[in-house]
Amino acid sequence: MWRYPATVLAHRGGGTLAPENTLAGVREGMARGFRAIEYDVMLARDGVPVVMHDPYLGRTVVGSGHVFDYDARELAAMDAGAWFGRQFAGEPVPLFVEFAQFCKAHGVWMNIEIKPAPGFDVQTGEVVAKIAAAMFAGEAWQPLLSSFSHEALKAALAVAPAVPRAYLFDELPPDWESRAREVDAVAIHANQRHLTQEQARAVKSAGFGLFCYTVNTAERARELLIWGIDAFCTDRIDLIGANFR
């Protein structure tokens, strides 16, 4: 069941209007009325979670090597904005705790994607879930933790069962439902490219929420909503508004 306050989420913080997974992106979305985002979290060398998509530097962060080659404070001093545009130069890699606190303080609801670097599934799931549980204990709206990693979701369930989980799939495998039940997921997050109307029906009639990534045209968004999906994230927050229905 989908009990969350948003249908349209900005993907990676602020879609394609600002560098992904940065506070600048969240601010850009907020300026356009967005109060819900998806973003990615992984662990630095010291086990401190940071907001990053790739497990290595070079694409969005100036530098080289892996995220786990650096401590979080070192990453937080790196430039995650210059690749996107000169006006974003110096925009840092956010620490997860600070990023989540900013969102909480500004009423921005979060789908936190647990994105473990290879081999760090359990540790990443535990750390992210524990922090989310501590930060949102007693709050009306809990963030939604999602992951492609079964191990990360199982670890999150073990340490913080009260923080809801969603199972991310590219293509839905035949055993999607048993996998989702094993981690006590409340929702299925599916790649819109592969989702069929029949699968959408099956997910909904099994009682799960259904979220799609990443929907970048209004036409497709409309079609998926007619199929009964509950929510989606988009890169194109310029084309698809926060109140799109």
Residues near ligand G3P, by CB under 6 A? 11, 38, 40, 53, 113, 146, 168, 189, 213, 233
Strands 187-191, 165-169: pairing is parallel
CB 150 within 8 A of CB 169: no
230 binds Mg ion (CB under 5 A): no
Return the one option of ligand G3P, Mg ion, none that residue 112 interacts with (CB less than 5 to 8 A, by type). none
Are 126 and 43 contacting, i.e. CB atoms less than 8 angstroms apart? no
State in angstroms the smallest separation of the CB of 39 from ligand G3P.
8
User: Is 11 considered catalytic here?
Assistant: yes
Tokens for 222, please give them.
């409309």
**Partner from ligand G3P, Mg ion, none contacting 22, C-beta within 5 to 8 A by type:** none
- Of the ranges 40-48, 54-62, 102-110, 118-126, which one interacts with Mg ion (CB under 5 A)? 40-48
189 has catalytic annotation:
no
Which residues on adjacent β-strands are paired with residue 232? 8, 212
CB nearer Mg ion, residue 9 or residue 95: 9
Least Å distance, CB 138 to ligand G3P, is: 26
Work out whether 113 is an interface residue with Mg ion (CB under 5 A). yes
Residue 74 and residue 68 in contact, taking contact as beta carbons nearer than 8 Å: no
For residue 79, give the nearest of 68, 92, 96 by alpha carbon: 92
Measuring CA to CA, how many Å separate 243 from each of 103, 188, 231?
19, 22, 11
Output the smallest distance, CB 148 to ligand G3P, in A: 7
Catalytic residues: 11, 53
